[in-house]
Structure 1
C-alpha cells in the first residue's frame, strides 16, 4: 500500500469518527464526568427550594458528581422551561417540573411546550396547599373571606406564588365564579409570601405547605387545606371539599431534562435521584412540609405529564381563562 493511500485511509477514518451522530456519541460517553446543574423555578429559601437542595445533596454520591442548584423564580414557576428547551440533551442540565408548566400554555403565550421539549426523569412528590391568615386576623373561617368580599368588593387582598399557579386558579374558582372580587398579589416564593401575610401587607395567603413552621409557631392561622383528606399534621383544619367546594389540588412535581436525553443518561439520572428520594433524610424533610413520596419512573411520569397537560387544557376551557 502506498504512503498516499495510507494517509487517505487514516483521514477517512478520522472523518468518520468525527461525524458520529450526537445522540450516539452521548450514549457512548461515560456519564456524568462533571457537576450537574439543577434549576429550581422558585425563589431561594422556600419549602420546594430547600427540599430540592437536600435531594441534590443526597443524589450526589450515587451520581458520583455534585448537583449544583440554581434558582429562577418568577412567572408562576415556569422560568426553568426556556432553559430546558435550549439546553444540550447531555444530562448536565435538569430542572424541577411544577404543575404550572402544564397550565401556562393555555393562559399565556409561551415559546416552549411542557411535553415536546422535555424528557421526564422522575416524579417526586406533591404539595399541601392551604389558605392562611395572620394569627390576629378577624377572618376566622373560610366563609369569612366570602362575606368580606361581598361586603367590601375589591378590598380583600390575597397573595399567591404567581399568576396561573394552582392557588391562583383555585381562587378564581372560589371567588370569580361566584361574582366576588379580590386583589391578587403574586409573590415569587413561599418565604416572602408568608412574611407578607404575617406582617399584614396582605390579608390572606394561599400557598404550599412551606408555611408549616409559621402555623405551628402560632404566627399564622390555617383556615383550610386543599387535599382529598385532612392532613395528619393539622387534622383540625377542614378541606375545601368539606367546606362545600368540590376542589382537590396537590400539584405533583418531579424532575426533567431537555428533549432527547440518551437512554443511558436518563437511567443514571433516574437511579441517582430515586435513591435520594427514598433516603430517610428526604422522607423526614417531606414530612416537615406535610408531603409524601409520590414516585413514578420515566415512562409512568411521562404518561402522568401528558394527563396533567390535558387536565389543564380542560380546566382552562371551563374557567374561560384568556391567554395574556
Structure 2
C-alpha cells in the first residue's frame, strides 16, 4: 500500500510543533515557578523605625503566600531614595528585588539631579499604607504645647531646631510648610531614618522631631511628649493630641507608600507579587501592626498606584517650588 504524499509533510509539521512546544516549555516553567528563591525587599530606612517594623511584618505574611522567604535589606540614605534608586539602576527586573517607594522619590527629582526617573524606571506593584506624622519633644522639654515651640521660634529666629528623616521627606516638607504659615524660621537637622532620629532626640542633640509614628513607644512609655499630629483628624490612639488643623495650620500629610520593582518586570510576576502582598495586607495580623503604628491601609492596584504616582509627581513640583526648594 502506498502512503499519501502529504504524510511526510504532516509528520514534519507535527514534529516542528512538538519541537516548538518543547523549546517554549522551559520559559513557561520559569514563569510558573516564580518565585523559586528568596526575594529581597529593600527598606530604605534604618532598622527599628516604623517603616522597618511595618515591612518586616508584611514580608513575613507575604512570604507564606509565596512559599519563599522575603529578606529585608535596610538601605537608608538620601531621604529614603537611595535604596529604590539604586535598585532601579542595578537590579534585574526578575521580581527577586523589590523596594518600598516613599514619597521622597516623587520629590527629590524636583530638588536636585538624580540618575533615575521616578515613573519610567519602576514597575509599580501595589499601594500599601500611609503614615501618621507627629511632632514630639523629650518629656523634660520646656515646650509643653506646639504653640510653645512656635512662640520660642518667634523669639529666637533660627535658634529653634527639629530633626526629620531627611531633606525632601514628608516630615521635613510639612514642617517647612507650617513654618511658612506661622512666619517663623526653624533650623532643620536631617537624619538617615527614624531610629537615628529617635536616639538624637532622646540624647538631647535636637530639640524636637518631625516623624512618622516610630515615636509611639517612647510617647506611650513617657520618654517623649507628642505635641501635634498632621492627619485630617485626631488619632484614635492619642485623641487628646491636636492636629495641625486644630491649631489653625492648613497642613495635612499622610505620605502614602507602596512597593515597586525595576522597570521591565514581567506582568505575570508583578501580578504574583501583588496578589501575595494583597493577601498579606488583608491578614488580621497585618491590621494589628497598622493599629500599633496608627496607620491605615492604602490599597492600590499596580496600575492605580502608577497613575497616582504620575499625578502626585506633577502636583508636588508646585509644592517644592512654593517652598523655595526647587533645583536652580
**2-structure distance, mates of 1:113, 1:235:** 40
2:116 counterpart residue number: 112
2:220 counterpart residue number: 216
- Confirm whether residue 230 of structure 1 aligns to residue 234 of structure 2: yes
**Alignment deviations for residues 34-70 of structure 1 (CA, whole Å, 9 cap, x no partner):** 1111101001111111110111111112111111110
Residue 188 of structure 1 aligns to a residue whose secondary structure is: coil
Out of 182, 186, 189, the position equivalent to 1:185 is 189
- Confirm whether residue 37 of structure 1 aligns to residue 40 of structure 2: yes
Structure 2's unaligned 5+ residue stretches are 1-15
Task: Give the alignment's TM-score, normalised by structure 2.
Answer: 0.88
Equivalent positions of 1:87-126 (< 5 A) are: 87-126=91-130
Out of 48, 51, 55, the position equivalent to 1:48 is 51
1:168 counterpart residue number: 172
The offset of 1:29, in angstroms, is 5.5
Residue 131 of structure 1 aligns to a residue whose secondary structure is: strand
Q: Residues 178 and 251 of structure 2 are in contact (CA less than 8 Å); yes or no, is this contact kept in structure 1?
A: no
- Confirm whether residue 241 of structure 1 aligns to residue 245 of structure 2: yes
Structure 1's unaligned 5+ residue stretches are 1-9, 19-23
Task: Give the alignment's TM-score, normalised by structure 1.
Answer: 0.90
1:71 counterpart residue number: 74
**1-structure distance, mates of 2:189, 2:28:** 48
1:315 counterpart residue number: 319
Task: State the structure with more CA Rg.
Answer: 2
The offset of 1:279, in angstroms, is 1.1
Aligned residues: 310
**1-structure distance, mates of 2:280, 2:33:** 21
The offset of 1:25, in angstroms, is 7.6
Moved more, 213-222 or 180-189: 180-189
Q: Residues 26 and 262 of structure 1 are in contact (CA less than 8 Å); yes or no, is this contact kept in structure 2?
A: no
- Confirm whether residue 281 of structure 1 aligns to residue 285 of structure 2: yes
Residue 242 of structure 1 aligns to a residue whose secondary structure is: coil
2:295 counterpart residue number: 291
**Alignment deviations for residues 204-236 of structure 1 (CA, whole Å, 9 cap, x no partner):** 100001111111111111111000000001111
**2-structure distance, mates of 1:240, 1:27:** 52
Q: Residues 131 and 206 of structure 1 are in contact (CA less than 8 Å); yes or no, is this contact kept in structure 2?
A: yes
The offset of 1:317, in angstroms, is 2.1
Residue 286 of structure 2 aligns to a residue whose secondary structure is: helix
Residue 250 of structure 1 aligns to a residue whose secondary structure is: coil
Q: Residues 122 and 256 of structure 1 are in contact (CA less than 8 Å); yes or no, is this contact kept in structure 2?
A: yes
1:201 counterpart residue number: 205
Q: Residues 181 and 249 of structure 2 are in contact (CA less than 8 Å); yes or no, is this contact kept in structure 1?
A: no
Q: Residues 119 and 261 of structure 1 are in contact (CA less than 8 Å); yes or no, is this contact kept in structure 2?
A: yes
Out of 291, 302, 320, the position equivalent to 2:306 is 302
